[in-house]
Amino acid sequence: MSRSINFGFILLFAFFSNCLSDELSGKLVFAHVIFRHGDRTPVSPYPTDPWRDPKFWPTGFGQLTNIGKMQHFELGKWLRNRYHTLLNASYSRDDLFVQSTDVDRTLMSALSNLAGLYEPKGNDIWNNNILWQPIPVHTVPEKDDNMLAGKKSCPAYEYAVNQLKNSPEFQKLNKKYSYMYDYLTKYTGKIVDTIEGVEQIYNTFYIEQLYNKTLPEWTKKVFPGGDMKNIADLSFALPTYTRKLARLKIGLLVKDIFDRFKKKLQKNKVKQSVWVYSAHDTTIANVLNAFKLFEWHNPPYTACILIELRIDYNKRPLISIFYKNSSKTPEPLLIPECGIQCPLSQMYNLYKEILPDDWEKECKLPNLWIMAYDSYATEYSSSTLFILLGLFITIGVFMSVFYFISIYLRRRQYVNYRCYVQ
């Protein structure tokens, strides 16, 4: 409830301050753009899905559609209009850098976006029959991407997620929604017993409905709206539900953005003026949640976050955050405890708890012992801890005695054997 109220206040503030978005203090000098890919086909239809045959989805499952390509082409033109003071008409590596997750639909979305952002003119036209020019999009294999995709292994993160899911709060939620799990399991032909599992089914329903596919009669009891939508919306908050989770899941990306702003203020450290990240709905949700600006929902296709740097007349670097979902006009968001514009140094202070010092080190297995201790310290009294500690020590002593006795017996056996041989 408090999250909804807080975000409602943010949106109300943003509505009245929208007229100020074009009158923000200072000169725009840099922008980070994080967007979701465009319209796509279902990723994984359920076993009893009447539309699970690939013939209904010619481009394949989880792929960008022609609608999605056009959506990003139009967004590219919109970005051109917004950032025309930062980008030259012709592409230059010194103006723009684009990074994508290593997924077909995000790579294709980035390319479609760039087609709208840099429509070739004059000397940039290399083929009169194709008004398009190749512009590089950079990526990292998902298994190695700890920043944008967030798929690189992080044992400490996985442990924290499991702790969250086993917490009393989420056990209560699972009990509350057990009827939904049972209903979907019965009719989909697959076991559905998690919040994420419900979201996957909901997303499939949504896309099939979007493409005018008739859904089975049984879906009318749960889709659209109601608890199923509430569960699906909640799923987008889970990856960064706590500050610890946000630090390990999306903290590197936030830090990358802040540090690049900082380098931009130092001459010749960063040449570019616009840095684009092509990613997913979860990325949008994770970033907004990390900034404490997320109202639980599924960010729509081409939703984008604009994080902009301006320098005011006092030479202060000021940060603004805008969110553009399905609307034509991006909404300026109220940064907690700061405002619509926030000094860069204050941004570091406000979000220091989610900025990792050494991500690799923080993800290592030894941290799990610390987290386990914290968990036990929260759940049990100190007397219980001492009892557990005593139990571990007793087991350790017993195992040590057993080990030394076994060594002693082996040696005696060896001596007796030698005596016999001699």
d(CA 348, CA 258) in angstroms, rounded, equals 8
For 16, phi then psi, to 5°, come to: -75, -25
DSSP tag of 45: -
Nearest to 280 by CA among 261, 263, 300: 300
> What is the DSSP secondary-structure string of 180-193?
HHHHHHHHHSS---
Question: Which residues, at least 6 apart from 132, have a Cβ–Cβ distance to it below 8 Å?
Answer: 115, 120
d(CA 206, CA 195) in angstroms, rounded, equals 16
**Cα Rg, the chain, nearest whole Å:** 27
d(CA 213, CA 9) in angstroms, rounded, equals 38
Alpha-carbon distances, residue 136 vs 34, 65, 84, 124, 230 (angstroms): 17, 21, 20, 15, 39
Buried b (16+ CB within 10 A) or exposed e, 353-369: ebbbeebeebbeeebbe
> What is the DSSP secondary-structure string of 104-135?
HHHHHHHHHHHHHHT---GGG-S-TT------
Helix (H, G, I), strand (E, B) or coil at 138: strand
For 307, phi then psi, to 5°, come to: -115, 110
Nearest to 307 by CA among 344, 280, 272, 281: 344
Considering the candidates 95, 233, 259, 281, report the single residue annotated as catalytic: 281
Strands 96-101 vs 138-140: parallel, antiparallel or unpaired = parallel
d(CA 17, CA 72) in angstroms, rounded, equals 27
Considering the candidates 37, 72, 280, 297, report the single residue annotated as catalytic: 37
281 is catalytic: yes
138 is catalytic: no
d(CA 38, CA 69) in angstroms, rounded, equals 6
Residues 265 and 215: beta-carbon distance below 8 Å: no
H helix runs in 177-268, sequence order: 178-188, 195-210, 226-235, 243-249, 251-264
d(CA 345, CA 338) in angstroms, rounded, equals 11
Catalytic machinery residues:
37, 281
